[in-house]
Amino acid sequence: MLDLRRFTGHDMRLSEKLGEFNWGFLLLLTLIASMGFAMLYSVAEGNFSPWALRQVARFAAGVCIMIIVAMVDLRFWMRAAYPLYAVALAMLIAVEIVGFVGMGAQRWLNLGVISIQPSEVMKVTLILALARYFHGLTLDEVSRLRNLVIPLGMIGLPVGLVVLQPDLGTAVLLIASGAILLFAAGLRWRFFIFAGIAVLAAIPVLWSRLHDYQRNRVLTFLEPERDPLGTGYHILQSKIALGSGGVLGKGFMEGTQSQLNFLPEKHTDFIFTMLGEELGLVGGVVLLALYFIVLMFSLNVALQCRNQFGRLLAMGVSMTFFFYVFINTAMVMGLLPVVGVPLPLVSYGGTSMLSLMFAFGLLMSVHIHRNLEISRGPSAFW
Amino acid sequence: MQISGRDSNRYQTFTRRAALLAGVQGAAFLALAGRMYYLQVLKTDQYRMLAEENRISMRLLAPLRGNIVDRFGRVLASNRQNYRAMLVSEQTTDVEATLTRLSRIVEIDDFRKRRILRDIARSPRFIPVTVVEGLTWEQFAQININEPDLAGILPDVGETRDYPYGEEFAHILGYVAAVSDADLEQAQREDHRLLKLPGFRVGREGIERTYDRQLRGTPGSSHVEVNAYGRVIRELSKDPGKPGQELVLTLDLDVQRFAWERVKGESASAVVMDIHTGDIISIVSAPAYNPNLFNMGYPTAEYRKLLESPYLPLLNKSLAGMYPPGSTFKMVVAMAAAEAGISPSQRVHCPGHYSLGSHDFHCWKRGGHGAMNMHDAIKYSCDVYFYDVARRIGINAIADMARKCGLGQTYDFEVPGEKAGLVPTPEWKRAARGEVWHQGETVIAGIGQGYLLTTPLQLAVMTARIANGGYGVVPHLTRALGGELLPTRKAEYLGISEQALAIAQGGMNGVSNEPGGTAFRHRISEPGMELAGKTGTAQVRRITRAERATGVIRNEDLEWRQRDHALFVCYAPVHEPRFAMSVVVEHGGSGSAAAAPIARDIMREVLLRNPGPPQANMPPGRGNSSGAG
Give the sign of the dihedral formed by CA B192, CA B198, CA B203, CA B208.
negative
Assess B6–A contact: CB distance below 8 Å, yes or no.
yes
- Predicted confidence at residue A112, as pLDDT, reads 60
- Alpha-carbon distance B228 to nearest alpha carbon in chain A (angstroms): 5
Q: Contact at 8 Å (CB) between A267 and A348?
A: yes
* Section A169-190 average pLDDT: 90
pLDDT reading at A182 higher than 50: yes
B171-185, B193-207, B280-294, range with greatest mean pLDDT: B280-294
CA distances (Å), origin B173, targets A226, B297, B378, B478? 54, 17, 37, 11
- Predicted confidence at residue B107, as pLDDT, reads 84
Which residues of A fall within a CB distance of 8 Å from B9? 139
- Predicted confidence at residue B573, as pLDDT, reads 94
Q: Give the one of A184, A256, A334 whose C-beta lies nearest to B18's C-beta.
A: A184
Confidence label for B372 from pLDDT (cuts 50, 70 and 90): very high
- Burial (CB count <10 Å: 0-12, 13-18, 19+), residue A127: buried
Q: Contact at 8 Å (CB) between B598 and B263?
A: yes
Could you tell me what percent of chain A has a pLDDT over 90? 47
Nearest chain B residue to A6 by CA distance is B1
Q: Are strands B68-69 and B247-249 parallel, antiparallel or unpaired?
A: parallel
Q: Residue B81's beta-bridge partner residues? A: B159
Q: Do A299 and B21 touch (CB under 8 A)?
A: yes
pLDDT reading at A379 higher than 50: no
Which residues of A fall within a CB distance of 8 Å from B18? 184, 299, 302-303, 315
What pLDDT digit, counting tens, does each position of A276-310 carry? 999 999 999 999 999 999 999 999 999 999 899 99
Q: DSSP E strands: which ranges in B422-524?
A: 471-472, 478-481, 484-485, 492-493
What pLDDT digit, counting tens, does each position of B543-596 carry? 777 777 777 777 777 888 888 999 999 999 999 999 999 999 999 888 888 999
Residues 6+ apart with CB under 8 A from B205: B174, B175, B416
Instruction: Suggest the residue from A260, A293, A379 to mutate for an interface test with chain B (most B CBs closer than 10 A).
Output: A260
Confidence label for A328 from pLDDT (cuts 50, 70 and 90): very high
- Predicted confidence at residue A351, as pLDDT, reads 80
What pLDDT digit, counting tens, does each position of B461-497 carry? 999 999 999 999 999 999 999 889 988 888 889 999 9
Confidence label for A338 from pLDDT (cuts 50, 70 and 90): confident
Q: In whole angstroms, what is the distance from residue B378 CA to residue B329 CA?
A: 10
Instruction: Suggest the residue from B9, B14, B24 to mutate for an interface test with chain A (most A CBs closer than 10 A).
Output: B14
Q: Do A245 and B3 touch (CB under 8 A)?
A: no
- Least confident among B285-294, B322-331, B337-346: B285-294
- Predicted confidence at residue B596, as pLDDT, reads 94
- Predicted confidence at residue B625, as pLDDT, reads 40
pLDDT reading at B421 higher than 60: yes
pLDDT reading at B454 higher than 90: yes
Q: Residue B160's beta-bridge partner residues? A: B80
CA distances (Å), origin B182, targets A139, B178, B203, B299? 85, 11, 13, 22
Assess B228–A contact: CB distance below 8 Å, yes or no.
yes
Confidence label for A101 from pLDDT (cuts 50, 70 and 90): low
Topology of domain B253-609, per CATH? Beta-lactamase (3.40.710)
pLDDT reading at B84 higher than 90: no
Q: Contact at 8 Å (CB) between B289 and B167?
A: yes
ipTM: 0.90
Per CATH, is B59-249 categorized as 3.90.1310.10? yes
Which residues of A fall within a CB distance of 8 Å from B34? none
Q: Where are the domains of chain B?
A: 59-249, 253-609
Q: Which helix (H) or strand (E) holds A115?
A: strand A114-116
pLDDT reading at B601 higher than 90: yes
- Burial (CB count <10 Å: 0-12, 13-18, 19+), residue B84: buried
pTM: 0.66
Which residues of B fall within a CB distance of 8 Å from A241? 47, 51
Q: Do B21 and A319 touch (CB under 8 A)?
A: yes
What pLDDT digit, counting tens, does each position of B487-535 carry? 888 888 999 999 999 999 999 999 999 999 999 999 999 988 999 999 9
- Predicted confidence at residue B3, as pLDDT, reads 46
What pLDDT digit, counting tens, does each position of A27-70 carry? 999 999 999 999 999 988 888 888 999 999 999 999 999 999 99
**Which B residues 40-79 touch A at CB under 8 Å?**
40-41, 43-44, 46-48, 50-52, 54-55
For residues B602, B604, B610, B613, the Cα torsion angle rounded to the nearest 10 degrees is: 150
Q: Do B36 and A333 touch (CB under 8 A)?
A: yes
Q: Do B40 and A330 touch (CB under 8 A)?
A: no
Which residues of B fall within a CB distance of 8 Å from A312? 14
pLDDT reading at B617 higher than 50: no
Q: Do B10 and A306 touch (CB under 8 A)?
A: no
